[in-house]
């Protein structure tokens, strides 16, 4: 797992390595694990419920994330159809591709505007181990400036392993 970004306080994050599903990440110290149907892992701030990180793992026969389309195509599809509620206005800010340890990752940023709030989200997606991985983190738009470094640390820490195998 890569180290936290230079802006992150080492003690402010907790490492998570899911050897069964083959991914790792850092999440902020103090966030609580919650169960959400359809998600592999979810951690939330108990005071600010829009501050969260969630990982979904879905089987796929694709070999790389680019098999699904360009970063912008994947971002628009996920942001509009999966990661925001029906009727929310979604604005894509950016979408990009990177490679780490010979694995392609797409990363994108968007804002979803509801009737009473706006959520600013960062997303990382990758393919590996026969799965499509989606990590989503974000905050209420009004807290974005305070939270963006922490949320970028979460996104930057996300890695999909070549089948982390739990030793038996």
Of residues 21 and 4, more confidence is placed in 21
pLDDT at position 5 is: 43
Where in the chain does DSSP place strands (E)?
13-18, 23-28, 32-33, 41-44, 52-59, 89-100, 103-113, 118-128, 131-140, 159-160
Q: Give pLDDT tens digits for 116-129.
A: 889 999 999 999 99
Phi, psi at 73, each rounded to 5°: -65, -45
Question: Which two tokens mark 153?
Answer: 């640390």
CATH class of 10-160: alpha beta
Phi, psi at 57, each rounded to 5°: -130, 120
Q: Give pLDDT tens digits for 43-94.
A: 999 999 889 999 999 999 999 999 999 999 999 999 999 999 888 999 999 9
Alpha carbons 120 and 137: distance in angstroms, whole number: 9
Residue 6 has pLDDT above 50, yes or no: no
Q: Give pLDDT tens digits for 22-36.
A: 999 999 999 999 999
Domain ranges of the chain: 10-160
């Amino acid at each position: 797992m890569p180290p936290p970004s230079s802006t992150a306080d080492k003690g402010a994050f907790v490492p998570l390595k899911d050897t069964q599903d083959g991914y790792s990440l850092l999440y902020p110290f103090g966030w609580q694990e919650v169960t959400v149907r359809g998600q592999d892992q979810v951690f939330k701030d108990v005071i600010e419920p829009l501050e969260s990180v969630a990982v979904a793992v879905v089987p796929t026969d694709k070999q790389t994330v680019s098999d699904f389309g360009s970063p912008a195509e994947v971002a628009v599809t996920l942001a509009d159809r999966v990661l925001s509620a029906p009727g929310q206005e979604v604005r894509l800010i950016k979408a990009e591709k990177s490679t780490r340890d010979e694995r392609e990752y797409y990363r994108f940023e968007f804002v979803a505007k509801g009737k009473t709030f706006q959520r600013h989200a960062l997303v990382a997606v990758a393919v590996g181990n026969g799965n499509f991985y989606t990590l989503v983190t974000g905050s209420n738009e009004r807290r974005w400036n305070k939270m963006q470094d922490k949320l970028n640390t979460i996104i930057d820490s996300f890695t999909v392993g070549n089948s982390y195998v739990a030793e038996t």
